[in-house]
Amino acid sequence: MRLAFLGTPEAAVPSLEALVHEGHDVELVITRPDRRRGRGAALTPSPVKAAALTLGLRVSHRLADLEELDVERGVVVAYGAIIPAALLQRVPMLNVHFSLLPHWRGAAPVQRAILAGDEETGVAIISLEPTLDTGPVHLERRVRVDEKTADELTAELAVVGAAALTEVLGSSQLLEHATVQVGEVTYAEKLSKETFHMTPEMTTALALRIVRLGGAYLFVAGKRLGVVMAQAIGDDVPRGMIARREGNVLIGLNDGAIALKDVRPEGSKTMAATAWWAGRRFDDGSLEWS
């Protein structure tokens, strides 16, 4: 099938590679422009652009280039921008969405599933519509959330989604007979900086889910402390206090304590929480955190 592919992050790469592997003619790959990914760094291509160039595919940063192309369908995987309704009228598009629609429509479905404590999520292959993630479903696949981090869950969904996408494109039955979404509609709002801020009023379960998102942080003695890894522990520390006990650095929350395992101090690299504690020369008592 003659296709255009629209995608940007690493999670879109398995779908692009699967389309090429299955013999589809990907005539154009459209991705977001190159960007700087560090202070003073040179411009870096998106993961999709890097993969497309390796595969020998034509790449563009302009949606307008699709207007000149004779393709049967477009495939959209985390492209990162709205597709104009006029373009959808000319080029029908499939979207690989990382949730079980209509649950978690929107920008951050994987992270919102983790934050909500969902037991399962999945991938929906839908026909793209101008409205947000409302299109009929051609195929869905379910995945257990378990204790996976957002990166781990996204990587799994990317592979599952790639397989589901090629299954739909290889079946006229699936391609031509999508079903209307049924169920409760929830929205996966974009995450803000404050989403990752752990506070003493939280439950231990919520705090651990925030850590699994990546980028969790709290404040100790006025300094920001990134929390890279933490685990549940059968101990108790007063809410809002941080202490070292029996080789663990513990923080007290609303219903108990969790152990910080790996942390990233402000302006420093990731290290064991016990090394951070020793380096700050805290005694083995306790102090406040927020």
pLDDT at residue number 100: 98
**Given a cut of 70, is residue 23 above it in pLDDT?**
yes
Written as one string, the DSSP assignment of the chain is: -EEEEEE-SGGGHHHHHHHHHTT-EEEEEE-PPPEE-STTPPEE--HHHHHHHHTT--EES-GGGGGG---SEEEEES-SSPPPHHHHHHS-EEEEESS-TTTTEES-HHHHHHHTT-SEEEEEEEE--SSTT-SPEEEEEEEE-TT--HHHHHHHHHHHHHHHHHHHHT-HHHHH--B---S---EEPPP-GGGGB--TTS-HHHHHHHHHHS-EEEEETTEEEEEEEEEE-S----TTEEEEETTEEEEEETTEEEEEEEEEETTS--EEHHHHHHHTT--SSEEEB-
How would residue 284 be classed by pLDDT, with cut points 50, 70 and 90?
A: low
Q: Which domain holds residue 211?
A: 193-288
Last residue within a domain, chosen from 140, 160, 188: 188
Last residue within a domain, chosen from 163, 188, 213: 188
pLDDT in tens, 75-124: 999 999 999 999 999 999 999 999 999 999 999 999 999 999 999 999 99
One domain for residues 175 and 197 = no
**Given a cut of 90, is residue 53 above it in pLDDT?**
yes
One domain for residues 125 and 267 = no
One domain for residues 48 and 172 = yes
Global pTM reads 0.94
pLDDT at residue number 255: 93
Instruction: Say which CATH number the domain at 88 has.
Output: 3.40.50.170
Instruction: Say which CATH number the domain at 204 has.
Output: 3.10.25.10
**Given a cut of 70, is residue 206 above it in pLDDT?**
yes
pLDDT at residue number 39: 65
Structural domains counted in the chain: 2
